[in-house]
Structure 1
């Protein structure tokens, strides 16, 4: 059972800190690496794959450092987000080249098997230059799987895939996790991670923000304070009725917006309270909109929590 250990690991590029003192463990099964764009997910994956050295701390595969460890590449398959493909090759030739680099006993058979695994046999003789984004993703996947690695690292693997391709890849990754392989994929979409990962690691601005199953992560996100912009027929009276309830932590009148800015600390209670209070007081609600629902604001709350 292969496990990746990340221990007090940092990586910086000049004055830019991409990963800041992160400790986590990636065990067998499917793990989702969740965070907004620019959070440091790709940098983490490249260190796990042996393509970047940690500036501080360590990244090990079963207690053996991955950086400059050629033997680690026999156990690791990497599907990067960026495309470093040779468009003049066919899909088969591209995967075959990786099989040959791994010095497999039968590279052609391994290449064909990997392409079959990702259901790309029908297009394996076509030039990569003719492939769609989703097809390119699947050929990269075949190339990463050709040597049957025990660890699979995927950076935003669902980008550009249509719904059918996405379902096929999810089923493949689930199956690999069930077989005992260590599968890690990154995403900035919580729903995508929920559907697939048994365990989630959250990173924000290079820092480790949270860890657990999707229920725990969803609860952390739901239980955070929520901010709303509310317009009504009588903002002052509505504010007076809401401020007395324990579900709100603060209400202010925004003169420029002609609206109330409300911080709710009990999401469920507040969403039931607001329409009831307005109805009982004869107040018309013109608009109720969340003002802090971006991924960056949600994840930043987790870091500060």
Structure 2
């Protein structure tokens, strides 16, 4: 049972602050690190893995500092987002090299064991540069797990992976979490996190935005004010009608459409067609205008 703790951890590069005063704790099981691209997820992962020193604050594993603590490295496995640069090696050679770097007493047996865990025994004789994206991800996980670490960190592990391979990777990570390992994976895709992790940490612009059960945070995201573009046969008349609706916070009249801000997306979307029909209006468009992850996370940070 291992706990990875960041205490007021920051990291800057010159005048650029990549991670700003982040405090969080990651325990056994599967945790999702959710945030838009550029939020600082990769920098956080590098600090947790001991590859990058915090500029301020601390990163510890079971109370021991991670940075420049070679004994701790035996307890951590990192699966980076960047592509493998050892295409001339076979999968087996790549995993074996990591086993040898950790000076495992029986590196050959450890290599074969972990190749079986990730279902890569048969393709292991092939060169890495012949692998599909999903196979490369699995062989990277094998290399990160060959020394049986208590903590596994994965940076955007599902990027570019086809649906079948994605399911295989998710099943593998669930099994590792069920075995008591501390598994943390980063993603900018809400649905990936929802399918795999019940506990999530949300970061945006290098700051810690939210933490806790996925359902509670998802409700925060769903219940936030949402901006919609609405176009009808009579926008001025519809605007007056919408201002009387309890779920509508504001209405802006544009040249060809209305900008409508609503508090309760469910009741607004359900009630709008009936309202239009009752007043003999025709709806031509109803579309979200700010549904990017960046806007969702910015809302969470501002709370």
What's the TM-score once normalised by structure 2's chain length?
0.98
Instruction: Tell me the residue number matched to 2:5.
Output: 5
Is contact 2:198–2:215 with CA below 8 Å preserved after alignment? Answer: no
**Pairwise CA distance, 1:283:** 0.4
**Pairwise CA distance, 1:198:** 2.3
Runs of 4+, deviation exceeding 3 Å: none
Is contact 2:3–2:61 with CA below 8 Å preserved after alignment? Answer: yes
**Pairwise CA distance, 1:160:** 2.4
Q: Does structure 1 residue 147 correspond to structure 2 residue 147?
A: yes
Instruction: Tell me the residue number matched to 1:20.
Output: 20
Q: Does structure 1 residue 92 correspond to structure 2 residue 92?
A: yes
Distance 1:303 1:269 in 2: 25
Instruction: Tell me the residue number matched to 2:113.
Output: 113
* SS of equivalent to 2:122: helix
After TM superposition, the structure 1 = structure 2 runs for residues 235-254 of structure 1, keeping only pairs within 5 Å, are: 235-254=235-254
Distance 1:120 1:160 in 2: 19
Distance 2:94 2:271 in 1: 59
Instruction: Tell me the residue number matched to 1:263.
Output: 261
Distance 1:49 1:164 in 2: 29
Query: Deviation string for 1:189-230 (max 9, x for gaps)?
Result: 111011111210000110111111221121011000010111
Is contact 2:32–2:197 with CA below 8 Å preserved after alignment? Answer: yes
Instruction: Tell me the residue number matched to 2:294.
Output: 296
**Pairwise CA distance, 1:84:** 4.0
Aligned length: 303
Instruction: Tell me the residue number matched to 1:277.
Output: 275
Distance 1:204 1:25 in 2: 17
Distance 1:139 1:181 in 2: 19
Query: Deviation string for 1:74-122 (max 9, x for gaps)?
Result: 1001000012431111110010011011111110111111111111111
Distance 2:63 2:96 in 1: 31
* SS of equivalent to 2:21: strand
After TM superposition, the structure 1 = structure 2 runs for residues 149-298 of structure 1, keeping only pairs within 5 Å, are: 149-255=149-255, 258-298=256-296
Distance 1:272 1:143 in 2: 50
Gaps of 5+ in 1: none
Gaps of 5+ in 2: none
Distance 1:234 1:290 in 2: 20
Distance 1:159 1:269 in 2: 35
* SS of equivalent to 2:119: coil
Distance 2:72 2:84 in 1: 21
Cα distance change, pair 62–9 in 1 and its aligned pair in 2 (3 A) = same
Distance 2:125 2:142 in 1: 14
**Pairwise CA distance, 1:27:** 0.6
